[in-house]
Structures are given as C-alpha cells and as structure tokens.
Amino acid sequence: MDAFVTMVYRQIKRFIRAKSRVLGTIFMPLIWLVFFGLGWSKVFNFPYARIIFGGVDYLSFLVPGIFAMSIFTGSLMSGISVLWDKQFGFLKELLVAPSSRKAGIAGRVIGDSLVIALQGLVILVFSLTIAANIRIKGIVPAVLVGIILSIAFSSMGISMALKMGSQEGFQLIMNFLMMPLLFLSGAFYPLDTMPEWMKYLAYIDPLTYAVDASRYFLIGISKFSVIFDILALVGLALVFLLIAMFLFERATIE
C-alpha cells in the first residue's frame, strides 16, 4: 500500500508542478469546444437538427464527447511518460525497490486517472457558460465515468508502453488508434447517422460507452442503458489494469 499511495501522490504533485502541462491539457479540449463546437452549432441551427441530436442543440450534444475525448487522449498518452520513467525516472527505482510492483503501477494508473478526470471537470464547468442544456447535477456522475474511462485507457497506454522501447513508435501507434476510436465513439455525431458497417465497429469501440454514459448524465439522452455502459467500462478498466500490473511485474531494466 505504501507504493500505491506514494505513486498516487507523486502523479498528483507532478501534475500540479508542471504548469505548462496543466495549461496545455486543459486548453486543447477547450479550443475544440469553442472553435469546433460554436462553429458547427451555427450550421445545425434549425429545428430538424434538434431531432437528430436527441432534442438538444449541437453544442450541448458535443460537450460530453469533448469531455470523453479529453480524458481518452490524456489517458492513452500517459504511456509516453512511463517509457521515460522506466528508463531514467522514478519507475526505474520502483523496479528495483523491495515493494510491490503491482501496487506501484496501480498507484500510477489511479494517480493519472484522478489528474485527468480533474481536467475533464474543468472542461465541464466551462461548458456551463456556453452550452444551454448541460445538467449541473450530472457533472459529478460524469466525472466518475471519466475516472473509470481514464483507468481503462491509462492502463492500456501503460501496457503498450511497457512492451515498447521507443517513444516515436509508441506515438505512431497511439495516433493510429486515437482517430478511429474517437470518430467511431459518437462523440461528434450520433451513432444512428453512421453507415451500417460503421455502426458495428462503433459497438466494439469501448469509448462509445463512455460517451453514451456521459451524455446520459449531462444532457439526458443515451442510445444504450447507462447500467450497461458503466458495466462495460468497469469490466474494461479491470481487464486493462490487471494486464498493466502483470506486465509491470515482469518488466526489466533496460
């Protein structure tokens, strides 16, 4: 437990100290929300568009997607810092320390997830000023969904990083994965508007269920049962966390 608590504390403190990282990870989703969201909300400013987007304006429809996107991308990219830490940083000491490796990497995942969910909270609070249909009471459960989502994809990113030795190769694979998963998730447009073959891919995209659950809590619409969404995310988070713990237990110093 000491290793777990230490790693959680380290990730939170590290984030607070890195002011440029704080600003960068928060402002990028806000740029999407303002320039993409406000721009397209004018395009979809007609009565039939509200029917397409479940009875709300496009900007309100987009907010849960941008929220999930920010957590998803931040979580996956946390694997880059693991590559660096494993070779030169704190994880190198953790690998040789007389403490549980599994507890250490689990603490790393949870610490990253809390930090990334905090960034998502900032985005949701800001969205209240520009989106008309966001439910204030849905912010807390949406953030909890974000934490589960972050645990899943932080674990996935760390698992991939532990099997790779090149930051360039890791970034290439991440970029290859990110765009299809984002566009298939329904973050930017409803699943019902997709071609039939694309819908089947969307149903196996785990990000789809995070977007759907977030949308349920924030604007009151969803395609699936919110219980099913959460169970799918919890199952995915547990599987990837166990994989990350298993791989880190067998990691070697390079």
Q: Angle, nearest 10°, between helix axes 206-219 and 139-162?
A: 160
Residue 139: its pLDDT value, please?
A: 95
Cβ neighbours, 10 Å, residue 23: 10
Q: Residue 109 in contact with residue 151, Cβ under 8 Å?
A: yes
Once rounded to an integer, what is the mean pLDDT over residues 157-174?
76
Cβ neighbours, 10 Å, residue 75: 25
Residue 106: its pLDDT value, please?
A: 87
55-69, 86-100, 156-170, 230-244: segment of lowest average pLDDT: 86-100
Once rounded to an integer, what is the mean pLDDT over residues 89-117?
76
Q: Residue 158 in contact with residue 102, Cβ under 8 Å?
A: no
pLDDT surpasses 80 at 71: yes
CA angle centred on 185, ends 182 and 188, rounded to 5°: 75
Q: Give residue 158's pLDDT band: very low, low, confident or very high (50, 70, 90).
A: confident
Q: Give residue 26's pLDDT band: very low, low, confident or very high (50, 70, 90).
A: confident
Q: Residue 222 in contact with residue 229, Cβ under 8 Å?
A: yes
Once rounded to an integer, what is the mean pLDDT over residues 111-131?
90
Helix (H) / strand (E) element for 137: namely: none
Instruction: DSSP letter for 250, please.
Output: T
Query: CB neighbours of 210 closer than 8 A, spacing ≥ 6?
Result: 68, 71, 72, 145, 146, 148, 149, 185, 229, 233
Which tops the pLDDT comparison, 195 or 247? Answer: 195
Q: Is the pTM of this model over 0.85?
A: yes
Instruction: DSSP letter for 129, please.
Output: T
Residue 93: its pLDDT value, please?
A: 63
